[in-house]
Amino acid sequence: MKNSSARVAFMGITTALAVVILLLTVFPTATIALAALAALTGIPVVVELGKKAALLQYVAVSLLALLVVPSPEGKGLYLAFFGYYTVLKAFLEERRWPRLAEWGVKLLVFNAAMVGAYWVMLTFVGLPADSFTIAGVSLPWVFLLAGNGVFLLYDRALTGIITKYMCRWRYPLRRLFHL
């Protein structure tokens, strides 16, 4: 990107869009989906401006989310995992590691982030431990295992969205911002 004002406008719009999506996490049935959707705003930033700019967007969205987003779960999930995952995915997939190693790192990061987010929400946010209980049985490990399956689907869907962006949406967006 040559035009610095276009870069700033592009970053501002994608950052604002991510924060607006995170503001919608006040609806408790869509918290995880909206945090994942907010992370999709990082795709054009990674492609058009690079990984450093996408990390800067993650920091800006995170700081704004801490200030204005009322849902602790929504901003917690964005901060703990979804916000930086598009950058991590780009980094891992451009390295051309063996597929097994790549997936191992992705799953390790996902599990560490989810366990860390769970601990923070129990310890500091005040999320009741019984929110992971069904019929009196505590199921955090079952939820984590199911989360791994959903994460694998999310990663595959993210690959498809990136491909669609590159084939269909990139050119109109570049024309709109004069990139």
Residue-wise pLDDT for 168-177, tens only, equals 999 898 888 8
Question: How, if at all, do strands 137-138 and 133-134 pair?
Answer: antiparallel
pLDDT the model gives residue 2: 64
Contacts of 21 (CB under 8 A, 6+ apart): 34, 37, 38, 41
- What percent of the chain is helix, strand and coil (3-state, nearest 5)? 85, 0, 10
Q: What phi, psi does 134 have (nearest 5°)?
A: -125, 125
Give yes or no for residue 135 having a pLDDT over 80: no
pLDDT in tens, 10-45: 999 999 999 999 999 988 888 989 999 999 999 999
Banded pLDDT at 161 (limits 50, 70, 90): very high
